[in-house]
Structure 1
Amino acid sequence: MDQLSPLVNGRIEQARYRFCRISEEDSILPRSFIHLLPVVPLSQNGPQCGLVALTMGLRYLTGEEITVADLFNRAVQSEFTKQGEMFEASDLLNLSSHPSIVSTLLTPLPSPSTVVQSIIDRSLILIPYDCDRNHEPAMRKGVAAHWAIIVGVLVVGTEDGDISSFPEDHQSIISDLPPERLFVLAYHGKSKHLGVWSYADLVASNLQMTQLGDGRREEDFIVKDASLGGLRDKAVLLS
Structure 2
Amino acid sequence: MISPCTPQKPPILPPGAPAPQAPTIPPPPSLLPPDTSDPAVPPPPSVLEVTIPPPPLPPPPLTMGVAPPHVFGLEKSRLLKEALEKTGPLPGSKEDVKRLLKLHKDRFRNDLQWTLFCADLPSLIQEGPQCGLVALWMAGALLVPPSGVPLERLVQVARERGFTAQGEMFSVADMGKLAQEVLGCSAELLRGGLGPPNRDRVLQHLLAGHPLLIPYDEDFNHEPCQRQGHKAHWAVSAGVLLGVPRVPDLGYTEDPDLPGLFLPTPGTDPPLPPLPEDEGPGLVYLLAKQGKSWHYHLWDYEHVRDSNQQLTDFSPARAADGRMYVVPAGGVRAGLCGQALLLTP
* Partner residue, 2:343: 238
RMSD: 2.5
* Partner residue, 1:174: 275
Moved over 6 A (4+): none
Unaligned runs of 5+ in 1: none
Aligned partners of 2:215 and 2:340 also within 8 Å: yes
Match of 2:235 among 148, 151, 154: 148
Q: Aligned partners of 2:153, 2:222: CA distance in 1, in Å?
A: 26
User: Is residue 129 of structure 1 aligned with residue 178 of structure 2?
Assistant: no
* Letter of the structure 2 residue corresponding to residue 129 of structure 1: Y
Q: Aligned partners of 1:227, 1:128: CA distance in 2, in Å?
A: 11
The 1:223–1:120 alpha-carbon spacing in structure 2 relative to 1, beyond 3 Å, is: same
Shift of 1:182: 0.5
Question: What is the count of residue pairs matched by the alignment?
Answer: 229
Shift of 1:15: 4.9
TM-score (norm 2): 0.61
State the structure with bigger RCO (CA 8 A, min sep 6), 1 or 2.
1
User: Is residue 203 of structure 1 aligned with residue 305 of structure 2?
Assistant: yes
* Partner residue, 2:143: 61
Q: Aligned partners of 2:278, 2:201: CA distance in 1, in Å?
A: 9
TM-score (norm 1): 0.85
The 1:13–1:35 alpha-carbon spacing in structure 2 relative to 1, beyond 3 Å, is: same
Match of 1:213 among 309, 315, 328: 315
Aligned partners of 1:142 and 1:208 also within 8 Å: yes
User: Is residue 49 of structure 1 aligned with residue 131 of structure 2?
Assistant: yes
The 1:177–1:53 alpha-carbon spacing in structure 2 relative to 1, beyond 3 Å, is: farther
* Letter of the structure 1 residue corresponding to residue 186 of structure 2: V
Match of 2:289 among 187, 191, 194: 187
The 1:134–1:156 alpha-carbon spacing in structure 2 relative to 1, beyond 3 Å, is: same
Q: Does 212-221 or 53-62 show the bigger shift?
A: 212-221
* Partner residue, 1:222: 326
Aligned partners of 2:239 and 2:286 also within 8 Å: yes
Shift of 1:104: 0.7
Shift of 1:16: 4.6
The 1:230–1:100 alpha-carbon spacing in structure 2 relative to 1, beyond 3 Å, is: closer
* Partner residue, 1:78: 161
Shift of 1:69: 1.4
Shift of 1:76: 0.8
Shift of 1:169: 2.5
Q: Aligned partners of 2:312, 2:167: CA distance in 1, in Å?
A: 20
Shift of 1:227: 4.2
User: Is residue 105 of structure 1 aligned with residue 189 of structure 2?
Assistant: yes
Q: Aligned partners of 1:56, 1:177: CA distance in 2, in Å?
A: 31
User: Is residue 17 of structure 1 aligned with residue 116 of structure 2?
Assistant: no
The 1:100–1:2 alpha-carbon spacing in structure 2 relative to 1, beyond 3 Å, is: closer
Shift of 1:162: 3.7
Q: Aligned partners of 1:2, 1:151: CA distance in 2, in Å?
A: 10
SS at match of 2:294: strand
Shift of 1:112: 3.7
Which one has the largest radius of gyration? 2
